[in-house]
Amino acid sequence: MRELLEGTNVARKSRFIAFDGMDRAGKTTVISAIADDLSVRGSSFIKASGGMLRDTRVADLYGKFPDEIVYMWFWQSHRLLDIEIITPALEADQIILCDRYMLSNMAFNFWTDLDPAFQNQMAQIYIKRCILPDLQFIFIAPYTTFKERDDGDTVLDEANYNRIMSTYLEWGRRLELEGTTVQVIDGSMPVQVVYDEVLSIIDREV
């Protein structure tokens, strides 16, 4: 059981489930499979995506505006998601499957002109302002898996890849201190194995 749902006196089970982690580690594939399973069961759920300001992907604004502004838009997109989607879903006792949430904002560092102290300060502030997931999955995989699953996009070098993965795990530990249940998933395993592991955790927590 998690803390009380803000603004109510009723404790809730794990309803807000976030999926973050390394690219090509199987997050989106597993989310789709979990959603199919919940549909078959007749469970009430919604799928959500972080990093959106209504119909605009914040990542698409990178390079068009100063880094500081785009970085803050990422955080505001999470707050908007909280207000417009997550809070109503929790009040309706729905399960939320969120493909990328705040951890991705904290872990990725493609900024060229952003003060690291400012970045860290905002992360510290918004981890208190945003609704924290009840259950946070962090998908990781070795760099060799990332290379093997290359889909033609720009490939990170190994040092940056490992730095990003370490940052995910570091902020995951911080979320645990805030009360979130954090589960690290080895995305290099076969999809069915990963799916079975994630589903068993969701069954236990939800």
Residue 6 confidence (pLDDT) above 60: no
Write out pLDDT tens, residues 117-173: 998 898 889 988 999 999 999 999 999 998 888 777 666 889 989 999 999 999 999
Full 3-state SS string of 180-194: CEEEEEECCCCHHHH
CATH number of 16-205: 3.40.50.300
Write out pLDDT tens, residues 50-66: 888 778 888 888 889 99
Alpha-carbon gap, residue 161 to 70, rounded angstroms: 22
Alpha-carbon gap, residue 4 to 181, rounded angstroms: 15
* 116 CA to centre of own chain: 21
> pLDDT confidence of 14, banded at 50, 70, 90?
low
pTM, rounded to two decimals? 0.88
Full 3-state SS string of 145-175: HHHHCCCCCCCCCHHHHHHHHHHHHHHHHHH
